[in-house]
Amino acid sequence: MDALASLNSKLARIFVPIGVSDAQFPTYGLPPSTALVWRCIGDLVSRPWFRRLWVL
């Protein structure tokens, strides 16, 4: 969970994430696109419950 929190804080610094190349990832302190963490995040956000709209 610490890795996800760290990754989230680093991603927040990118104002325009579209168009960021793999070569720029280290500039933002992000792991390379081939790192396992990206696949894990992709698996997480691909789950059906992640896409549900929760209303409290």
Q: Are 32 and 22 in contact (CB under 8 A)?
A: yes
The residue type at 25: F
Instruction: Dump pLDDT digits (tens) for 27-52.
Output: 888 899 889 998 898 888 888 887 77
Residue 16 has pLDDT above 70, yes or no: no
| pTM of the predicted model as reported, rounded to 2 decimal places | 0.54
Average per-residue pLDDT for the chain: 79
Q: Residue 5: which of 32, 36, 35, 37 has the closest Cα? A: 37
Question: What percent of the chain shows pLDDT beyond 70?
Answer: 80
Each residue of 33-49: b (16+ CB within 10 Å) or e? eeeeeeeebeeeeeeee
The residue type at 37: V
Q: Output the six-digit token pair for 31.
A: 């792991």
